[in-house]
Amino acid sequence: MKSVRSSLRYLLADLIGEDEGEPPFLPVGLPDAAAPAVSEGIHLLMEYQGAGYAQLYVDRIKRFVRRSNVDAVTLSEIAQLLAARMAYEDPIRIAQLKLLDLATRRSGGGHEIDDLRRFRLDELIGVLPQALADSLLAGFEQIGWLGRRRLTVRFSTRSRLRIRRLRLMAGLRRWRLQSVRYAEERAWAERWLHMIARALDKQPAAVHAVIATATMIQGQGDIYRQGLADWHAIIDGLAKPTFDGVLPMSDLAAAIAEARGAAMPDPRQAALKRAIAQIRARALDAGPNSHAAE
C-alpha cells in the first residue's frame, strides 16, 4: 500500500509538472509513538505543496518536541491537526485530488464522480498571487460582489478539456505560497500554535481543548469563513484574556467547550457572542477565587 501511494504521488507530480524534492527528516527527539503521525503529515504536505512546505511543518512541530509537559499523545494530536490545516482545501487542492483520483482509477479501477463545490468569489480570487488578487478584490469590492457572490465550480475528469483545466488549476500550486489565502492560513496556524504554547505555560489542563479548536475550521466557502470567525471569537473572548491574566478563568477547557456548543451557522454570531459574554461574566463575578492563570 505504501509503495502504491508513493507511486501515485510521483504520478501526480508528473501530471502537474512539478518536482517534489526530498522529504525532510523527522525532528530529533520526537517520541517513537508520535513518529507515525508526523511522518504521515510530512507525506501529505509533500503531496500538497512540496519539500519546502513539509519542512515548514517539521519546523513547527519542533517547537513542542522535548518539552517536559508535552507527551507523545499531545504531539500526535498537534501533528495531525496541523497537517490537516496546512493542507487546507482550496480550489488548487481539489484539482490535485481529482487528478490523484484519475491516477488511481488508471492504476486499478474506480468510477468517475464529478465534484461540485460552491465558493465565495473572494475565495476563488484568493488562490492567485497577492499582487494580482489585490487588484481584482478591490475591483469586485467596489461593485459590491465580494460579500454576496457565490460560484459553483465543477471539478471533473470526464474529458481531455476538463483534465487540462484541472492541470492548469493544480499548477497554481507553484504560486500558492504567494497567495492571499496562504497569507491568511499562515497567520492562523502561527496563532493557533502560539495559543497552544501559552496554554502549556499558563493552563495545561486546557491544552487539548485549545488544540482541538483547529477542527472548527474546515471546508470552503461560507462554512470555512464561519468556522474561522467563530474560532477567533473564542480565542479573543476567552483564551487570550485568560492567558493574559485579565480574565480569571479556572476551567478554560470547559469554557471553550461551552462556547463551541453555542456556535451556530450565523454570520452575526449572536448565540456565540451571548455565550462568551455569559462565560466571561461568571468568571469575573468569581474574581480571584477562580484561580486565574498566572
Q: How far apart are the first and last CA of the chain?
A: 49
Contacts of 270 (CB under 8 A, 6+ apart): none
Per residue in 1-38, pLDDT (tens digit) is 443 344 344 344 444 445 468 999 999 999 999 999 99
Residue 279 to residue 262: CA distance in whole angstroms: 11
For residue 4, give every residue at least 6 positions away whose Cβ sits within 8 Å of its Cβ, in sequence order, or none.
107
CA distance 151 to 121: 7
pLDDT class of 151 with cuts at 50, 70, 90? confident
pLDDT in tens, 240-263: 999 999 999 999 999 999 999 999
Q: Taking each helix axis as running N to C, give the angle between helix 180-202 and helix 130-142, from 0 to 180 degrees, rounded to the nearest 10.
A: 100
How much of the chain is in helix, strand and coil states, percent to nearest 5? 70, 5, 25
Q: Can you tell me the distance from the alpha carbon of 190 to that of 186, in angstroms, rounded to the nearest whole number?
A: 6
Question: Does residue 109 register a pLDDT over 70?
Answer: no
